[in-house]
Amino acid sequence: MKFEKEISSFLELEYGKTPQDATPTQLYNAVSKAAMRFLAPSWHKQPGKKRACYFSAEFLVGRLVYSNLMNLRLLEKCEDYLKQHGIDPAVFEQIEDDALGNGGLGRLAACFLDSAATHNLPLDGYGIRYRYGLFKQYFKDGFQKETADDWLRFGDPWSVCRPQEKVMVEFGDQKVWAVPYDMPVIGFGGKTINTLRLWEAQGVNEFDFDLFNKQQYELAVKERDEAEWISAVLYPNDDTPQGKRLRLKQQYFFSSASLQSILREYVARHGEDFSFFSQEYAIQLNDTHPTVSIPELLRILMGEYHLPFDQAFTIVKDTFAYTNHTIMAEALEKWDVNLFVSVLPSVYPYVVMIDDSLKRELRSCGILGGDQEKYKIVCTNMVHMARMAIYATHSTNGVARIHTEILKDRVLHEWFSLYPDRFNNKTNGITQRRWLALCNRPLADFITQKIGDGWITDLDQLERLRPLADDSTVLAQFMEIKAEKKKELCAYIKEQEGVQLCADFIFDVQIKRLHEYKRQLLNAFCILDIYFGLKDGRVKDFYPTVFLFGAKAAPGYYRAKGIIKFINEIARLINGDPKMKGKMQVLFVQNYNVSYAQKLIPAADISEQISTAGTEASGTSNMKFMLNGAVTLGTLDGANIEIVERAGEENNYIFGATVQEIEEARDSYHPKKLYEENPRIKRVVDTLIDGTFSDGKTGMFKELYDSLLEGADWHKADQYYLLLDFIPYCEQRLKVNRDYADRLSFTRKCFLNTANAGKFSSDRTIMEYANEIWDIG
Ligand code: NBG
């Protein structure tokens, strides 16, 4: 049946509606289901090909309907259909995006799936089908509040439940069903369709009739409820032992279920001869969350199929590879041995076997006694997951060049000395389908007009724009597109936040998770410094600017929440000051997510990437901004380094201490001295305590103040060097502002960022994984 007919007949059958009287949700389900029918014949695994499996606790896919239709080449058909019936094609923007991820790590996983399918690489994702995704954020009196994200309320037309493929997962105290829901991952053009398999936990005994009959109603459904907790929320709060227990259960739940389903496939083909396993499957561990897969595969091979340790361990090592996404200590997961044993008693012995094997290997390398401490997987009553992930796999990679170097030189240096060949770098990337073709259609059309549409699957072709950088008509068009996207953003923000922004201002944007190391607070201080400078005449000829923030803070991260409140207070002061009219505006948007990013990024002139050098593993929004023609105002950190290497330092704004300079400053760093000696620093920092702003008597601002000047029992004062980089940052920010006034030369910089963004396609990244780690190229 024709696609359009399929939509209408679905509406009629399911809802008894015509397109005109269907609700947006009904239309969304009808269009999505029609597309699912359309793709069904191509959704199958190619036999005889090695497959790669991406194990990840997060897949931040964002809104699927437009991207899936685009990839199936049905988007225009669908838009025509809607228009014919008098419906705005933007109608699906009312369908919120599902957020089964937190930030960069989850969004990267989604970009990888898109790129692999587009380039016909057999890569499937495996994760958890959370009942509630990342919380939704709103502000009340400037404070962050959280509510549950009930993403299923719109239906879930893009998933297919496969109950016949459920598997049992066993914990020490509980057994649950893992039921798979498969989503098609559609490559551009629709030729290759891979699968994202997400597991839902269900009770084995859903309902105890006997107990119910005895009026013990709660007990009758206890088992069901306890099973459902496992896939209830993404990253449940883990500040209590129960919370930690639940997280470990989640990790084992999807690791074990995914391995069981892969093994089922394999055994169906080869029986119990496992000699081909690692030639047919590669498994990538996305951070340490799925690392318990390592002893689990060993357990299955040895315990269920009776392979000897050496043979099983070789298969494990050849199959798994590990990606490290951060050097923040809290993310290198460790589990208390007692907790581990009580949750996973049948897995723990295999952890010990791996550890014993490691110790034998260390001994044979002459590493003995106390020198083994820093390697041991089980050490001081903890199971060290990152250590296991490095030892029991054949590849460990970082996500940007500097990040991998830091892993090799510092964080994981002892491992690098032992296994230098295992370490490799895979600089992150982003999919240009979502982050240009879909989110910035005017720019996409403009590029296609100039160089054809090959860039959609081969981003390096953007290079061909370079010769146009000196053509002022081309630059004028480029500028016009930015202006159009700013107007669109202003309309959207007016609707979402009730705030009217000035579309002809500079748009300066910092969007990412709220974390001290990302230094939103530094940005805030600098805005205040400019504000004070404008008031007292120190800052002159300032080009009017909108400062935009978007970020969620982890619900238990007190300081991050204090920073949000502080920025909201600054916004209130500045936006309410009549003298600032026509000069600056500050806004922290609520509930920043993938869909919001798709609006903000195309409208940005300046991309704020200001983390302390050495802390941001890569960053990926930096690449999205670059692709959409913004200049980077940033430090030499993460992928910023590779971005300016490509686009030219002269077309970006780099400032601040380098990794090496911070290293050298470390021991003698004295933020209080900087504060006392520099009145500009003192003035902005003092706003935390001098009554300029109110934190609603929570003490949050004083706590931030102390964190900068006094430190706390777990860290030194100003551990992320805000005050060290403050003046250079302000200077560079004013320089961008001055440069912007020369509209043509500034647009040229923006244009050259776009033209040089080719390297940052996740197509490039995924091909590197495919060729260099998975061998599926
Ligand atoms: C994040 C890093 C980012 C990086 C993404 C994707 C985690 C643990 N790490 O810098 O902070 O871009 O991973 O690699 O979420």
Q: Are residues 177 and 221 in the same domain?
A: yes
Helix (H) or strand (E) holding 724: helix 722-741
Q: Are residues 457 and 404 in the same domain?
A: no
Q: How far apart are CA 574 and CA 494, in angstroms?
A: 18
Long-range contacts of 372-379 (CB under 8 A, 24+ apart): 374/414, 375/414, 375/415, 375/418, 377/351, 378/337, 378/351, 378/352
Q: Are residues 420 and 463 in the same domain?
A: no
Q: Are residues 460 and 414 in the same domain?
A: no
**CA atoms within 13 A of residue 287's CA, in its CB half-sphere:** 23
Q: Is 716 a catalytic residue?
A: no
Q: What is the DSSP letter of 290?
A: T
Give, to the nearest 10 degrees, the angle between helix 722-741 and helix 520-536: 60
- How many whole angstroms from 749 Cα to the centroid of ligand 1? 27
Phi-psi map region of 758: left, alpha, beta (phi>0 left; psi -120 to 50 alpha): alpha
Q: Are residues 190 and 280 in the same domain?
A: yes
Q: How far apart are CA 66 and CA 286, in angstroms?
A: 27
Query: Please, which residues bridge with residue 508 across strands?
Result: 547, 606
Q: Are residues 287 and 207 in the same domain?
A: yes
pLDDT for the residue 45 = 83
Q: How far apart are CA 548 and CA 508, in angstroms?
A: 6
Q: Is 325 a catalytic residue?
A: yes
Q: What is the DSSP letter of 128?
A: E
| Token representation of residue 342 | 């009580």
Burial of 401 (0-12, 13-18, 19+ CB in 10 A): middle
pLDDT for the residue 236 = 79
Tell me the three state secondary structure of residue 100. strand
Q: How far apart are CA 260 and CA 605, in angstroms?
A: 48
Question: Looking at this predicted complex, what is its ipTM?
Answer: 0.99
Q: How far apart are CA 353 and CA 347, in angstroms?
A: 10
Q: Are residues 384 and 519 in the same domain?
A: no
- How many whole angstroms from 104 Cα to the centroid of ligand 1? 5
Q: Are residues 391 and 477 in the same domain?
A: no
Q: How far apart are CA 69 and CA 118, in angstroms?
A: 14
Q: Are residues 386 and 471 in the same domain?
A: no
pLDDT for the residue 450 = 98
How many other C-beta atoms are found inside a 10 Å radius of the C-beta of residue 211? Answer: 17
Among residues 255, 137, 179, 188, the alpha carbon closest in space to that of 565 is found at: 137
Q: What φ, ψ does residue 132 adopt, rounded to 5°?
A: -120, 130
pLDDT for the residue 293 = 98
Q: Are residues 286 and 166 in the same domain?
A: yes
Containing structural domain, residue 395: 43-62+97-428+767-774
The finding on whether 617 has its CB within 6 A of some atom of ligand 1 is: yes
- Does residue 377 contact residue 384 with C-beta atoms inside 8 Å? yes
Burial of 202 (0-12, 13-18, 19+ CB in 10 A): middle
| CB-based contacts of 213, cutoff 8 Å, min separation 6 | none
Q: What φ, ψ does residue 138 adopt, rounded to 5°?
A: -140, 165
Q: Which of 58, 59, 399, 607 to mutate to test the pocket of ligand 1 (most atoms within 8 A of CB)?
A: 399
Helix (H) or strand (E) holding 282: strand 281-286
Query: Please, which residues bridge with residue 203 across strands?
Result: 176
Write the pLDDT tens digit of every residue in 510-539.
999 999 999 999 999 999 999 999 999 999
- Does residue 418 contact residue 390 with C-beta atoms inside 8 Å? no
Burial of 538 (0-12, 13-18, 19+ CB in 10 A): exposed
- CATH code, domain carrying 612: 3.40.50.2000
Q: What φ, ψ does residue 690 adopt, rounded to 5°?
A: -95, 10
Instruction: Label residues 608-646 b or e (16+ Cβ within 10 Å = b).
Output: bbbbbbbbbbbbbbbbbbbbbbbbbbbbbbbbbbbbbeb
Q: Which of 56, 105, 766 to mutate to test the pocket of ligand 1 (most atoms within 8 A of CB)?
A: 105
SS3 string, 610-647, reads CCCCCCCCCCCHHHHHHHCCCEEEECCCCCHHHHHHHH
Phi-psi map region of 158: left, alpha, beta (phi>0 left; psi -120 to 50 alpha): alpha
Q: How far apart are CA 696 and CA 117, in angstroms?
A: 50
- 7 in any annotated domain: no
For the entire predicted model, the pTM comes to 0.97
The finding on whether 737 has its CB within 6 A of some atom of ligand 1 is: no
- How many whole angstroms from 498 Cα to the centroid of ligand 1? 32
- Does residue 323 contact residue 112 with C-beta atoms inside 8 Å? no
What ligand 1 atom has the least distance to the C-alpha of 102?
A: 15
Q: What total number of domains does the chain contain?
A: 2
pLDDT for the residue 1 = 67
Q: How far apart are CA 370 and CA 729, in angstroms?
A: 45
- How many whole angstroms from 266 Cα to the centroid of ligand 1? 32
Q: Is 620 a catalytic residue?
A: yes
| C-alpha distances in Å from residue 729, one per residue of 654, 673, 723 | 9, 18, 10
Among residues 368, 356, 452, 444, the alpha carbon closest in space to that of 754 is found at: 444
What ligand 1 atom has the least distance to the C-alpha of 616?
A: 10
- 18 in any annotated domain: no
Tell me the three state secondary structure of residue 147. strand
| CB-based contacts of 330, cutoff 8 Å, min separation 6 | none
Q: Are residues 422 and 508 in the same domain?
A: no
Residues of the chain with pLDDT below 70 are 1
Q: What is the DSSP letter of 761?
A: B
Write the pLDDT tens digit of every residue in 451-501.
999 999 999 999 999 999 999 999 999 999 999 999 999 999 999 999 999
Q: Looking at 129, 249, 518, 519, which residue is catalytic? A: 518
Alpha helices in 72-103 (DSSP H): 75-84
Q: How far apart are CA 81 and CA 88, in angstroms?
A: 10
Q: How far apart are CA 657 and CA 674, in angstroms?
A: 15
Q: Are residues 533 and 595 in the same domain?
A: yes
Give, to the nearest 10 degrees, the angle between helix 24-39 and helix 3-10: 130
- 711 in any annotated domain: no
- 35 in any annotated domain: no
What end-to-end distance do the CA atoms of the chain give, in Å? 36
| Token representation of residue 602 | 């195309």
The finding on whether 106 has its CB within 6 A of some atom of ligand 1 is: no
Q: How far apart are CA 428 and CA 618, in angstroms?
A: 7
Alpha helices in 85-213 (DSSP H): 104-118, 209-213
CA angle 131/134/138 to nearest 5° reads 125
List the residue whose alpha carbon is closest to atom 3 of ligand 1.
619
Among residues 192, 43, 184, 183, the alpha carbon closest in space to that of 122 is found at: 192
Q: How far apart are CA 193 and CA 201, in angstroms?
A: 26
List the residue whose alpha carbon is closest to atom 13 of ligand 1.
105
- Measured over all CA atoms, what is the biggest interatomic distance in the chain, rounded to whole angstroms? 83
Q: Which of 325, 427, 512 to mutate to test the pocket of ligand 1 (most atoms within 8 A of CB)?
A: 325
3-state helix, strand, coil in the chain (%, to 5): 55, 15, 30
The finding on whether 620 has its CB within 6 A of some atom of ligand 1 is: yes
